Amino acid sequence: MRLVRWMIRRIQARMRARRTRSRVYKRMPRLAEIASRAEKARLAALADPSLWLCNRTNAALKTLLSSTVLGDVMRAVSSLEMFTLIAPYVCERMVAEGAVHVLLDSFARSNRSPPHLKVIGHGLRALLNIAKHEALRPSLHEHPDVVPALTDIVRQNYDKPASHGLLWDATALLVRLAQHAPEGWAARVRTESSKHLKQLESVHAMLMRKHPDEPAASKPGAKPGAKPGATRPAMPPAPSSRPTNATAQPVDLGAQSMRGLRQ
């Protein structure tokens, strides 16, 4: 009897769901198109194992770790950015197979051409996804060039409006690393990367001179009515999204976080 009642409830739920979808699709046909594409993608993945997430991850990691063709690497890093966002185990695989170190090393070898900037952007967002997981952050903290690499990205792109996405991603990663730094990491950064900390603060100072009229209330930690020079917390909250009018704010976050390491 219980089984019969359970089956009746399931059938009723399916019928209600179908009627609801039908009404929604009539109001918003685009949702019907999205659902149709999703179903086609699901059926294609069932028919072709190469489209499975695990196999696509294998292919992307293999390309990142071994390929020297920029176009292939860019597509691989773009895929890994998406995979790390939706699947934590992909983050674990990137750490286990050394992809984090490869990405950070590639930042130092990249130039300012559009293809290289795209690789850096996808790589930064993949590293941000990895940094969300506490157990995986040591792979970033232990890399000796993580602060120099991120500071160089900030320094090379702060004056280019088209590259403010890189500016925000790099400083967001710096903030996250500074906020969740293990014991001893701050001392090592002060010793080994003092030059880069000064560069980060210098970039922030230049941006503040370039945008002197930016409202103080828009800066992290500023109170309503506070003066531009008012004291702000040394360790601001990690940014969750990019503001559309960001100018000095991203580097302000990074500079404050790095300044916190000096204390």
pLDDT in tens, 222-251: 444 444 444 443 444 444 445 444 455 555
Measuring CA to CA, which residue among 124, 217, 214, 222 is closest to residue 175? Answer: 124
Q: Which of 152, 64, 166, 161 is nearest to 109 (CA)?
A: 152
Residue 153's pLDDT band (boundaries 50, 70, 90)? Answer: confident
| 124, pLDDT greater than 70 | yes
Indicate whether 111 pLDDT > 90: no
Q: How much is the mean pLDDT over the chain? A: 79
pLDDT, tens digit (0-9, with 9 covering 90-100), for 71-90 = 999 999 999 999 999 999 99
The separation between the first and the last C-alpha atoms of the chain, rounded to the nearest angstrom, is: 69
pLDDT winner (highest mean) among 119-133, 140-154, 243-257: 119-133
Alpha helices in 87-132 (DSSP H): 88-96, 99-109, 114-131
Domain coordinates of the chain in residue numbers?
52-143, 147-212+233-263
Predicted pLDDT at 35:
86
